[in-house]
Amino acid sequence: MASSVPAKGLQLRSHVKSGGELELSLVEVDVPTPGPDDVIIRVEATPINPSDLGLLIGAADMSTAKASGTADRPVVTAKVPAAGMRAMTPRIDESMPVGNEGAGTVVAAGSSPAAQALLGKTVAGLGGEMYTQYRMLNVAQCMELPADATARDGASCFVNPLTSLAMTEVMRMEGHTALLHTAAASNLGQMLNKICIADGIDLVNVVRSDAQEKILRDIGAKYIVNSKSLGFMDDLIRALAATGATLGFDAIGGGPLAGQILVAMEAAANLNAKEYSRYGSATHKQVYIYGRLDMSPTTLPPGVGMAWGVGGFLLTPFLQKVGSEGRAKLRARVGKELKTTFASHYTSEISLAEALQLPILEAYNRRATGEKYLINPNK
């Protein structure tokens, strides 16, 4: 290991205790010695994504959150309701590191040529445990960033870019010709719009405010419907009929929206039907839930026809499915368009300690459109 690398570093941990309490804290951990194909990254930028919050906060009731500890080593505790504890069973009494992705400088490398080639380079990494000052990853989990890119540029170059690209790949693989996406003004949603515009794919965007509509119109989105408007269902049916979209990706998860999308897809299919069927359209309509911004049950009404599906979608199983060649193709596009299609914008850059200050924690836990936080563990 390089002499400039310390023996220990700080790491953010999430711990659900058997007594029904979540504890967030910073702990000192050993910096490992890299194996032949490993590198040590000094993490300089790691985003707070909704998927990270699922592990960081889990099912805790953050209205009960309390702060303790010191300025350098803050501790946050919150109660976890009984129903939430059932969902947390596999992780009870296990202190868990957090952070799906991030970027930084390779400060130590193993003996293999591939590892040595990354020494001193700025790389992005996907492997979990990124809310830490130093992270060891295998070279296969790293992507060297372009020479003009910073760690901040590359911090979010895995989860959102690859998920947005995966959505269009799933569309092609399953025989659909157009897409629908909810929470569409998010960072991921904006990336998806840029991909679809470039690739000539019709995309129906579902948003929740006039401000979100403007965000998408400003980047060239064509089909935008507001779920808070009185004419939402009529607008949605018209957009689906115009595009022929029969595949939707839903970041909201709970409540009526997934069911409304299927009903609207059925209505759009019937608008274009050549003949009437008492059983409904035979056109398959699919909604994949990939987020849970709404934690309430997902409700599905009648009126969706006889060919439809609702399922879950996660990036990792998809990447396993497409294999190494498919993954390489997607990553190559991300690298090429890192500062354009896949550029991310952040509300604020914070330290590990600041991430556990209650006002800041409350702000990023709102998951509001246009508010994205970036942690610099070495700040």
Whole-number percent of the chain with pLDDT over 90: 85
Low-confidence winner among 81-90, 173-182, 193-202 (lowest mean pLDDT): 81-90
pLDDT at site 174 = 97
Instruction: Give the whole-number percent of the chain exceeding pLDDT 70.
Output: 98
Write the pLDDT tens digit of every residue in 215-265. 999 999 999 999 999 999 999 999 999 999 999 999 999 999 999 999 999
The pLDDT, as a whole number, for residue 340 is: 94
Residue 279 has pLDDT above 90, yes or no: no
Measured CA angle at 153 (ends 312, 11), to 5 deg: 70
Q: What are the pLDDT digits (tens) for 286-305? A: 999 999 888 899 999 988 88
Kindly indicate the confidence band of residue 39, based on its pLDDT and cuts at 50, 70 and 90: very high
| Confidence check: pLDDT of 35 > 60 | yes
Query: Would you place residue 1 in the very low, low, confident or very high pLDDT band (cuts 50, 70, 90)?
Result: very low
Do the domains 159-317 and 8-156+344-375 match in fold?
no
Neighbours of 17 (CB within 10 A): 16
pLDDT tens for residues 327-340?
999 999 999 999 99
Predicted TM-score of the model (pTM): 0.85
> Looking at residues 152-156, what average pLDDT do you find?
95
Domain positions in the chain: 8-156+344-375, 159-317
CATH class of 159-317: alpha beta
At residue 62, the pLDDT reads 96
Q: What is the pLDDT of residue 33?
A: 96
- Of 101 and 270, more confident: 101
CATH T-level fold of 8-156+344-375: Quinone Oxidoreductase; Chain A, domain 1 (3.90.180)
